[in-house]
Amino acid sequence: MIARLTGRFPQGPLVELGPGDDAAVVRAPDGRYAATMDLLVEGRHFRTDWSSAYDVGRKAAAQNLADVVAMGARPTALLVGFGAPPSLEVAWAEALGDGLRDECALVGASIVGGDTVGAEAITVAVTALGDLGGRPPLTRTGARPGDVVAVRGRLGWAATGLAGLSGAVEVPERFVAAHRRPEPPYAAGEEARALGATALLDVSDGLVQDLGHLARGGGVGIALASALVPLDEGVALRDALTGGEDHAFAGTFPADRPLPPEWRVVGEVVEGAGVTVDGGRVERGGWDHFGR
């Protein structure tokens, strides 16, 4: 099935051998690869009555491509594992493949293969590869006291949309669309590198929770100011701080480095540990994969 879905897709310039053989062959000009993998399970990460197959494909690709970009790498290829009940219509799987393909096209990446298996629930596992281009990766460990913390992209849109889909509140359609199909600002990786970022990550589980990774990685504290957090009309501050799945990017930068307006300074790196907002802790924020 994967060969059927991917064989009709164009292959990027770094793909020497695409789907159809025992394995694909993708060139790594740098000699290294950034690699990441995410898993989406029906009923846990998406619902077929809320999202189309095409939306699921776009989302599955986006969250992996964003992780590669956050490492300062150029996305080059995806491998897709697909599990589904035998009753699933082939058209659903084909629409999923279309979504994966179209999201990859935004960054010039290719789908080079994968596998299929019968499963009780629809499951999509995506592995993404990226080329570092001879440069060091952007990691979570470089933040130092005195750096500023800045974000690029939307915050709280997906969480607001999820609340709308669940019937908790009425929200504009743009937020529902953001939950179904995130729009990572893929240019952020190259921008952050050019701006001298000391650390960078993809905001997938909530700004506060993900910045906690930067704090732990650098052995520092991060102090956020709520007045600086970008809030679009209709988004609550808590959703902007703790809502996941927008796939914005957050990084730390030297304080003397001017940042373009697309990057919004939201706080600073300080001595200490953990993340604070206006001097206090945010209780139980961000996505918990095991529901605890």
pLDDT at 287: 47
pLDDT averaged over 10-residue windows placed end to end, the chain, 292 residues = 55 82 86 94 94 97 98 96 96 95 96 93 97 95 98 97 93 97 97 98 96 97 97 96 96 97 98 96 59 42
> Domain range holding 152?
148-277
Query: For position 153, which CATH number holds?
Result: 3.90.650.10
Cα gap 124→200, rounded to integer Å: 26
Enumerate the known binding-site residues. Answer: 22, 36, 38, 45, 67, 114-115, 140, 202, 204-205, 245, 287
264 and 154 within one domain: yes
Enumerate the known binding-site residues for substrate. Answer: 45, 245, 287
Domain presence at residue 112: yes
Q: Among the three residues 131, 161, 176, which one is the final residue of a domain in this structure? A: 131
Task: Tell me the pTM.
Answer: 0.91
Domain presence at residue 126: yes
Enumerate the known binding-site residues for ATP. Answer: 114-115, 140, 204
pLDDT at 290: 37
pLDDT at 30: 86
115 and 48 within one domain: yes
Enumerate the known binding-site residues for Mg(2+). Answer: 22, 36, 38, 67, 115, 202, 205
